[in-house]
Structure 1
Amino acid sequence: MHRFTLDQLATLRTVIDEGTFEAAAGRMHVTASAISQRMKAMEQAAGQVLVRRTTPVTLTPAGDVLLRYARQLELLEADTRRELDGDASGAPHPLIPLAVNADSLATWFLDSLVGLGEELGATFDLHREDQDHTISLLRAGAVMAAVTSTRATIQGCVTEPLGLMRYRAVAAPALVARWMPRHPDLADLTEAPVVTFDRSDELQRAFVLARTGGEGGPSHYVPASHDFARAVVLGLGWALLPEQQCLAEIASGALVELAPLHPVDVALYWQRWNLTSPLLDSVSRAVRDAAAHALHPF
């Protein structure tokens, strides 16, 4: 393997975290020219391009490999410093990037981090992504661990089950009266407006296909979990909501459950780097504990 200096590897991490050479220079207290020179030296040593000079900067496949290496070294350095010092006081706070799907982030995941940053002397960089796509961030080295629906373990990682996130098909009473007069017949879902998180959200479409054999109605895209749930309560369209976001509203009558006998369970897993790391072990343990209280068991 080509030799890269710690300054070069730290520069690569910072460029990706900040998005531009100029922002990375500001964070590292050097000039943008110095950042550019370090990146050029790394690319000469690697014999290939590592980053695409876009805004924000993106990685090539070779850059993915080096970013993963850089983050692993940073994590090992933080673990070593904690072991030598006995605590994290006065030491730089290591950044722990994690990928989490939006619904977990909005309902249970943040509970796992309460007090953990102070305990570990660390900070967290949360990347919100669909549970089917968080694994790509882990594979690229952008994050150290991910909540994912992918059970198959990627190279260099370990996987453990977290639990089942249960969703309920719900709609506002006024929307049911307007678009689903034959409720509980689900055939009307092929015409009724639906709220969809973003273009990668297939949950509602798959539900309609499984229950009716048809396609869903027109979609409203609302790419924020809290606003997504509020849009359903306000009657913009029907959708599948996590139980944590709809059970109280079902009980109060603010929402109507469309298919009580057909909840949708999404299996969630925790994939993390296969490294011996007290810091990452502590994060994983906290995530497991929070998931055990919030999710349904397998």
Structure 2
Amino acid sequence: MNPAHLDTLLAILDEGSFEGAAFALGISPSAVSQRMKALEHAAGRVLIRRATPPEPTEAGEVIAQMARKMGLLRTEVDAQLSGRMGALPLAVSVNADSLSLWFPQVLSSVASWPNATLHVRVEDETHSKHLLSRGDVMGAVTTEARPVAGCEVRELGVMRYVSVANPRLLDRFSRDGEVDWEAMPVLRFGPRDRLQDLDLERRIGYVPPRRNVSEIPSVDAFLEATRLGLGWSLLPEAQAQPLLARGELVLLDAAQIEVALYWQCWRLESSTLHRLSRAVQEAASVLPPIR
């Protein structure tokens, strides 16, 4: 398959449109369409669903993953032959809490590599399996211990979460010393964030159907919304401790939720990918081990 056509497929998926791909590649939208038609003709099947944004078909996911692997290896070969390292696009998926608390050490490591570029997608750790299988990312911090096809898995550690709330919010939604879980408003990071649901199922056996849920898709804003009393939440223990110490938050109970994290990446003979995996494991060494 023509490498230029493969690059065009990836540009469409990454930019979210044929027009965006044209701008990124420095060609016309009609040229993007022509390249895609040629690639689909070579593959013998449709690779992109012409939707908004464009979505890869099952065959398109396979081709996209192959294209990213080829692109990484091609860049490494060019570097070895010419002694010059081109841009190395490292696409990874990381959950927001990890990105805030321990993943910055990975950013520091990659910053010291010649011409490496890091494309970080902030996704719930339960969704990253889908991104790996589609070929959107070459590595992901995930809760999935079973390897995605074509990937290898390494243990990272556990993130410990505690249930907390503003003291005034707890007073408003407590009766005779018992928390009114059905009535107390709750926070979540986004529609895929099920931590609070899992915690409620553990506590009362079900998720109340008509509760007040606020979505705050920012780590800093989520912490602030919890502190101000917009709702109760599950926070990483390390993040909650300073606010608990100052009395700005209180524990709803002493129980902790432990979320086991794994690093999944493509099974590929790539020195850059191996280096990235080492950097992720070193950064995650601050986490308690998986039991």
Normalised by the length of structure 2, the TM-score is 0.94
Correspondent of 2:68 among 68, 71, 96 = 71
Contact 1:164 1:268 in 2 (8 A): yes
Query: What's the counterpart of residue 50 of structure 2?
Result: 53
Q: Which residue pairs with 1:208 in the alignment?
A: 200
- Aligned with 2:282 (options 273, 281, 289): 289
1:120-139 map, 5 Å: 120-139=114-133
- Corresponding residue for residue 114 of structure 1: 108
**Could you tell me which amino acid in structure 2 is paired with residue 11 of structure 1?**
T
2:225 alignment partner, one of 227, 231, 236: 231
1:134 CA drift (Å):
0.8
Q: Counterpart in 2 of 1:180?
A: 174
Q: Deviations over 1:24-51 (max 9, x none)?
A: 1122121111111010011111121111
Evaluate the alpha carbon distance shift between residue 41 and residue 105 of structure 1 in structure 2; reply closer, same or farther with a 3 A threshold. same
CA change 1:219–1:250 in 2 (3 A) is same
Shift of 1:213: 2.4
Separation in 1, partners of 2:278, 2:81: 23
Shift of 1:188: 1.9
- Compute the displacement of 1:296 (Å): 1.4
Taking the aligned partners of 1:237 and 1:192, their CA distance within structure 2 comes to: 7
Determine the structure 1 residue equivalent to 2:34. Answer: 37
Which of 113, 120, 139 is the aligned partner of 1:145? 139
Unaligned runs of 5+ in 2: none
Moved more, 113-122 or 59-68: 113-122
Q: Tell me the equivalent position of 1:8.
A: 5
- Spell out the pairing of 1:154-193 with structure 2 (5 A cutoff): 154-183=148-177, 185=178, 187-193=179-185
Contact residue 169 and residue 231 of structure 2 kept, 8 A:
yes
Instruction: Please state whether the residue corresponding to 1:131 is helix, strand or coil.
Output: coil
8 Å contact 1:120–1:279 — kept in the other structure?
Answer: no
Q: Which residue of 1 aligns with 2:188?
A: 196
| Separation in structure 2 between the aligned mates of residue 36 and residue 66 of structure 1, nearest angstrom | 17
- Which digits, 9 at most, give the CA deviation of each residue in 1:137-169, with x for residues without a partner? 001111000000011111100001100001010
Paired residues of 2:124 and 2:193 also in contact (CA < 8 A): yes
Q: CA deviation at 1:223?
A: 2.1
**CA apart distance, 1:196:** 1.6
State the Cα RMSD in Å.
1.5
Displacement of 1:115 in angstroms is: 4.2
Q: Select 1:221's aligned residue among 188, 193, 215.
A: 215
Instruction: Work out whether 1:252 is the aligned partner of 2:246.
Output: yes
Q: Given the alignment of the two structures, is residue 27 of structure 1 paired with residue 24 of structure 2, yes or no?
A: yes
- SS state at 2:187 partner: strand
> Which residue identity lines up with residue 42 of structure 1 in the other structure?
L
CA–CA distance in structure 1, aligned partners of residues 43 and 111 of structure 2: 35
Deviations 1:201-242 (A, max 9, x none): 211121112122243442112222221111111100101011
Q: Aligned runs of 1:250-289 on 2, under 5 Å?
A: 250-260=244-254, 262-289=255-282
CA–CA distance in 1 between the matches of 2:65 and 2:206?
43
Q: Which amino acid aligns with 2:280?
A: V
User: Structure 1 CA distance, aligned partners of 2:190 and 2:21?
Assistant: 30
Separation of aligned partners in 2, 1:50 and 1:222: 35
Give distance in 1, aligned partners of 2:11 and 2:88.
12
Structure 1: gaps of 5 or more residues: none
Decide whether the 8 Å contact of 2:109 with 2:279 is kept in 1. no
Q: How many residues align?
A: 288
Structure with the higher fraction of residues in strand conformation: 2
Counterpart of 2:226 in 1: which secondary structure?
helix
